[in-house]
Amino acid sequence: MNLRDLNYEVELPEELIKPFEKKVLESGLCDFAIPMSFFRQNGLQKIRYECSGYVAFSEVNLSDTSNVFEIIEKTLLALKKSGEYLIDPGKILLNQDTIYVHHRHKDVRIAYVPGLYKGNRGQQNLIEFLLMVEERIPASGKGYIQKLKEEVIYNNRSLPDLVTIVGEIRREIFLCEVH
């Protein structure tokens, strides 16, 4: 689902977004999320995203492994920050078209699109995102993505742990001059 193709608007059943989530997200105080506004139309919740200055991760050139892991780290930090606003990170749809990167200062924000996840679906969502990244990353970074996937799958790491692991990977990439 590319938001640009949808004119930065999404229609969802009203019950997918809780009233407090709508209030918090619409306030503009959530620095992890793309600013959004909500409208009701024909029993559906219409969400309009304000993506000025940001490009979807799917449109970002991933030729530099260091930049890819910087964006992954900032994405994980944004997910972690969503919990501070009482929004379950496991409920957020995470893919290359919901993650937005500011074209100048590489700030990362997520276009909040609630998923229909139950149980540990948030973990599966993260793994699917990493698989998408793995398809586009240079060969020099595939081993690092594999390591990160293993940490998620086999060691069931928390978001703060994953942020730390990505930081360690970024240091290794820098010290080994991986491109």
Residue 104 belongs to a domain: yes
Domain count, the chain: 1
The model's confidence at residue 44, banded by pLDDT at 50, 70 and 90, is: confident
* Residue ranges of E strands in the chain: 9-13, 36-41, 44-49, 54-56, 99-102, 108-110
Residue 19 belongs to a domain: no
Residue 2 belongs to a domain: no
Is pTM beyond 0.85 here? Answer: yes
C-alpha to C-alpha distance for 67 and 61, rounded to whole angstroms: 9
C-alpha to C-alpha distance for 35 and 73, rounded to whole angstroms: 21
Contacts of 38 by beta carbon, 8 Å cutoff, 6+ apart: 17, 22, 25, 26, 45, 46, 47, 48
Residue 10 belongs to a domain: no
Q: Which of 144, 148, 178, 146 is nearest to 162 (CA)?
A: 148
Residue 5 belongs to a domain: no
The model's confidence at residue 116, banded by pLDDT at 50, 70 and 90, is: low
C-alpha to C-alpha distance for 111 and 102, rounded to whole angstroms: 13
The average pLDDT across 12-36 equals: 89
Residue 28 belongs to a domain: no
Residue 15 belongs to a domain: no
Q: What CATH number is associated with residue 145?
A: 1.10.510
The model's confidence at residue 144, banded by pLDDT at 50, 70 and 90, is: very high
Residue 3 belongs to a domain: no
**Segment 127-142, tens digit of pLDDT:** 989 999 999 999 999 9
3-state secondary structure of 51: coil
The average pLDDT across 49-72 equals: 92
Of the two residues 117 and 43, the one the predictor is more confident about is: 43
Range of the domain at 68: 54-175
